[in-house]
Structure 1
């Protein structure tokens, strides 16, 4: 019963009691008249209340019947068909590297959707496998073959979700997913990784060596002063030893830069360690230089001597011969004439090879080896 009906019935009941009382008092009726009128009115109010209650119950029953009819009219969802399965083994799937492929295996599941309409697919198993492999291929094609274990977990999570094919014929998913790489490819990847690491280490070592060489040549041995300062920075309490090594450091600095020893440091280098040739070895015509005497310090390019008008200029032959004599005196044993002659013969042959035949003949004439035969020389390697 609604709240409005309850208020109405309460008001009627109060009126059934109060109105007869007012009439009895106003008309001075006996008390039993009030009781009789009130009782009659209350009986009428009760009958009316009963009628309202019946109407309320009928309304509830009618609403319940309508709800029941609506539930009965709703369509019943059909139950899906039982799922079917098929084992998938040794299927090749691409990786991000063209020459490496994963080996895939799983248990494929499929079923016809419960809400599918129309004629089903003629080969639902083939359609289900194709849909499943397409999903797997999309994942593996962007993954590196070296991460097969990680990709297997990723693939298992993706294929475990139920998906339909593009046309809605079947629902597919997979369980017991396996993804591996062949032993040969795994071994190749390990070997490539080792090669890359070795190559990276080699490049780092090479760069380190280049840096050290650049440091030594451009900073430490740039000149004699830099070499001395570098030695002192490492041996700052041994100044006297640094002074003794100035000649050696000057020689190292000159050798590192491909130059001659600076004039102010030559007296600190023993004469036996000063090459009589400016370039060190008499193999290139332009690098052959001679001084008038071993201690003179005036050098002449033999290319300049050969280019002078009339061959060797006046006095130049004597200057070069004196230099050769000093070289032979330094290299040969005192009193060993045979050694001196053989050495002079070899020097003359070197100048013949440098196309300085006049000077070579002068050496032979000076040291009495014009008729001496040169012993066979070993062939120099081009490397």
Structure 2
């Protein structure tokens, strides 16, 4: 017992005796009560030191053979690995693995070879991690990490059963360059799929419109009525438009029964050639001579004189009226401003009384060359220069051309 324990025991004993004396005086105990209190006080005073004495530690340094020898430090059974390359399901894209490896030694059989627990534990953990990562795509690195945490959180023996190993603080990721490439590839794939769907959608629409809706005019009308079933009169009014649209979709001509209903007719192509096989022209590139009829869309176009006569008839102007000369003169002056006075010369000669007449050729002289072309006529076939023409000059009753 130490001195401190002895002091506390004596203090408690004295305090207890004073309490008993005070209580006995206040209560006026009889003599026998004082005797019993004295016996009890003596018993407690003898038992109190034993009760307050601490138990002896049998392993305390004072009982050891070498009390000053330090104890051995505990064996360290963990190791940290960083940025270990593990394969993924995609070629050339590897995971980066980091973890804290922990192990627990197992009871070894006799005559077993010595080994390094660190190397065996790390090898066992990496083998388990590789079996997990090589089944995951690199773009699923975060999900593969959680899967790997669960797989490596259990202590499992290595292949030879020498120890149990596990891993904590597991991290799994990709190199930054690989992550950028994967994001770009994902964007390209999504754009390609979107473009493929758009192209297929557009092709289906073309086939639907070309082979079903616009197959012919009847199909176009039925399609239009299906879209606008309450506008029958408008469908009838737009029948020509639908016929032209279906014909254009199939690269064909509008059927004859709908030709009169087409509102937008194709303009006549520009005539490039000569009249009646005659290579002569009026001096303008690409414009045929107006001295005879020519073909437009397979039909012979009227001569300028005949066309002007029909114009006068449409304007209710008689052929011999003075207004016909004014109109012929205005046409000639307007044609002269654009360089086409030769085409309207025959019209002016016939309908304008004030127009200068061509002088008759004197006997013994050849007729002036180009007389027929100025009058809007072609020389008759089989006539030689100097022979008598069969028709009148300018279509009227002009004088005959004498022989030379």
Provide TM-score, normalisation by structure 2: 0.48
Is 1:257 the counterpart of 2:246? The answer is no
Pair 1:121–1:128, CA change in 2 (3 A): farther
User: What SS does the corresponding residue of 1:200 show, helix, strand or coil?
Assistant: helix
- Three-state SS of the structure 2 residue aligned to 1:105 is strand
Distance in 1 between the 2:156 and 2:246 partners? 78
Aligned partners of 1:227 and 1:337: how far apart in 2? Answer: 46
The structure-2 alpha-carbon separation of the partners of 1:322 and 1:222, relative to structure 1 and needing over 3 Å to count, comes to: closer
Out of 179, 187, 190, which is 2:183 matched to?
190
Alpha-carbon distance between aligned partners in 1 of 2:208 and 2:175, rounded to the nearest angstrom:
49
Q: Residues 88 and 338 of structure 1: is their aligned pair in 2 closer, same or farther, counting only changes over 3 Å?
A: farther
Q: 2:91 is matched with which residue?
A: 98
Structure 2 partner of 1:85: 78
The aligned length equals 221
Summarize deviations over 1:58-102 as a string: whole Å, max 9, x none: xxxxxxxxxxxxxxxxxxxxxxx9561111001111111112111
Residue 274 of structure 1: aligned partner = 266
Distance in 2, matches of 1:320 and 1:238, equals 43
Find the partner of 1:132 among 105, 125, 148: 125
The aligned residue for residue 141 of structure 2 is: 148
Secondary structure at the residue paired with 2:160?
coil
Q: Aligned partners of 2:231, 2:296: CA distance in 1, in Å? A: 44
Q: Where in structure 1 are there 5+ consecutive unaligned residues?
A: 1-80, 283-317, 342-365, 369-383
Contact 1:84 1:111 in 2 (8 A): yes
Equivalent in the alignment of 1:229: 222
Q: Which of the residues 199, 202, 208 maps onto 1:206?
A: 199
Distance 1:222 1:322, change over 3 A: closer
1:252 is displaced (CA, Å) by 0.6
1:121, 1:169 within 8 Å by CA — same for their partners in 2?
A: no
Contact 1:132 1:172 in 2 (8 A): yes
Cα distance in 2, alignment partners of residues 121 and 339 from structure 1: 118
Distance 2:226 2:189 in 1: 39
Which residue does the alignment assign to 1:175? 168
Using the TM superposition, give the Cα deviation of residue 201 of structure 1 relative to its aligned residue in structure 2, in angstroms.
2.0
Structure showing greater radius of gyration is 2
CA-to-partner distance for each residue in 1:343-367, whole Å, 9 max, x for gaps? xxxxxxxxxxxxxxxxxxxxxxx9x
| Structure 1 contact 276–323 (Cα < 8 Å) conserved | no
- SS of structure 1 residue aligned to 2:81: strand
1:164 counterpart (157, 178, 184): 157
Higher mean alpha-carbon deviation, 144-153 vs 217-226, is at 144-153
Contact map agreement 1:159 1:173 (CA 8 A) in 2: yes
In the TM superposition, residue 322 of structure 1 has moved relative to its aligned partner by: 6.5
Give the SS at the match of 2:111: coil
SS across alignment from 1:273: coil
Aligned equivalent of 1:22: none
- 3-state SS in 1 of match to 2:106: coil
Say whether 1:243 aligns with 2:236.
yes
Residue 123 of structure 1 corresponds to which residue in structure 2?
Answer: 116
Task: Give the structure-1-normalised TM-score.
Answer: 0.50
Tell me which residue corresponds to 1:77. Answer: none
Q: 1:207 to 1:256 in 2, by over 3 A?
A: same
Q: In the TM superposition, what whole-angstrom CA distance separates every residue of 1:283-308 from its partner, at most 9, and x where no partner exists?
A: xxxxxxxxxxxxxxxxxxxxxxxxxx
**Structure holding more helix per residue:** 1
Structure 2 residue corresponding to 1:108, chosen from 101, 106, 124: 101
Q: Secondary structure at the match of 2:260?
A: helix
The answer to whether the 8 A contact 2:125-2:166 is kept is yes
Question: Any conservation in 2 of the 1:83–1:110 contact (CA below 8 Å)?
Answer: no
The 3-state SS of whatever aligns with 2:179 is: helix
Contact 1:116 1:168 in 2 (8 A): no
Shift of residue 261, structure 1, vs aligned partner = 0.8
